Structure 1
Amino acid sequence: MRESPGLPELTVPSARSAALRLLGGDARRWGHVQAVAAKAAGAARALAPAEAELLVLTAWLHDVGYAEPLMATGFHSLDGAQWLRQQGHERVACLVAHHSCASFEAALRGLSKVMATYPDEGTAVRDLLTYCDITTGPAGQAMTMDERLADVQERYGADGVVTRALQAAEKELSRQLAAAERLLADSQPM
């Protein structure tokens, strides 16, 4: 792993700044990350304030593992999680590791043992993060889960590891999205 920028303090502004430093050079990826973070900021109303902040800052950081300086395994969820763990941000590392049912892809890549070192907390924060990511396209456009899965298949091919992982995860993705949608519906003002 190459030298990467540190993240000693973890706040929404520092998470945004780190994501910009790491991903800002890729306009498409940066567009996706900004849209996921904006969606998370809106979804945060469904959570207590501390959890709301955690959701938003994790949304900013969910794809940092795509940054070349952080690439270690070649799997962005784990590469981002490893970097966050090295920075001392364990809970955020675990959320990043497991966003959008990444354990399915880790298994296909032979990385289940590494993934197992990052417990999946299975909380509303995790479900909302998955919701924000899966319903946001690669350039930041809004998508349904079905549209997102079709887009992944188009970009990676029917036999691509990302496609196969998301197909295997479809039932769990649907469960997490339904849980997130219930939370968001329950948090609407009457």
Structure 2
Amino acid sequence: MKQAHELAANLLQESLPRRWAHTQGVAACARRLAVAVEGEASLLEAAAVLHDIGYAPPLVATGFHPLDGARYLRDAQVIDSRVVRLVANHSFALLEAEERHLHTELASEFPLLDDTLLVDALVYCDMTTTPDGESATSEERVAEILCRYGADSVVGRFIRRAAPEIHASVARVRAAADAAGVML
């Protein structure tokens, strides 16, 4: 866990301070969900703190941060392969990969995990945290992304397609958290 935090801080803290604030908020959300993910808390937190490292200037290769970050983790770091796959596939990245014509690469290099709760938990953490690291609803977050990137951009097209799945993931995590007695 410490390795993941140090790596993300080294890559994001100075060069992308707002992205670092978001990352810290996503990791804090993951810590709040620890009980709900039954034994996978450290895995979720590691993926949460690493999910956006692909934005770091030294790692940008394709311009698609889930793929760039996951390739770096796979090739240059000693990180659990499940964390790498979560980073690669966070927040319905396969849908954005389609928009970028990178679906085949992402899907073949980093297959989606079968653990739906863990995948959903990372979606929840990312999509209920603002760029400044504050809590938001998934509806607010989707609207913010659309506003920031524009509805007709690659990200805008992706987020409109992904929105129903994002909201469904968030609802599943809220239900699991309620069942585990976790206040979100």
Same-fold call, TM cutoff 0.5: yes
Within 5 A, what are the aligned runs for 1:23-38?
23-25=12-14, 26-38=16-28
Structure 2 alignment gaps of length 5 or more: none
Moved over 3 A (4+): none
Q: Secondary structure at the match of 1:100?
A: coil
Q: Does 1:113 align with 2:129?
A: no
Give 1:97's match in structure 2, choosing from 88, 103, 120: 88
CA RMSD of aligned residues (A): 1.2
TM-score of the aligned structures, taking structure 2 as reference length:
0.92
By how many angstroms is 1:34 displaced? 0.4
By how many angstroms is 1:70 displaced? 1.0
Distance 2:90 2:104 in 1: 17
Distance 1:72 1:164 in 2: 22
Q: Does 1:180 align with 2:173?
A: yes
Distance 1:120 1:172 in 2: 15
Give 1:146's match in structure 2, choosing from 121, 125, 139: 139
How many residues are aligned here?
177
Partner of 2:46: 57
- Whether the 8 Å contact between 1:149 and 1:163 is mirrored in structure 2 is no
The worse-fitting range, judged by mean Cα deviation, of 177-186 and 33-42 is: 177-186
Q: Does 1:40 align with 2:1?
A: no
Distance 2:169 2:19 in 1: 23
TM-score of the aligned structures, taking structure 1 as reference length:
0.89
Distance 2:78 2:157 in 1: 32
For 1:104, give the aligned amino acid. Answer: L
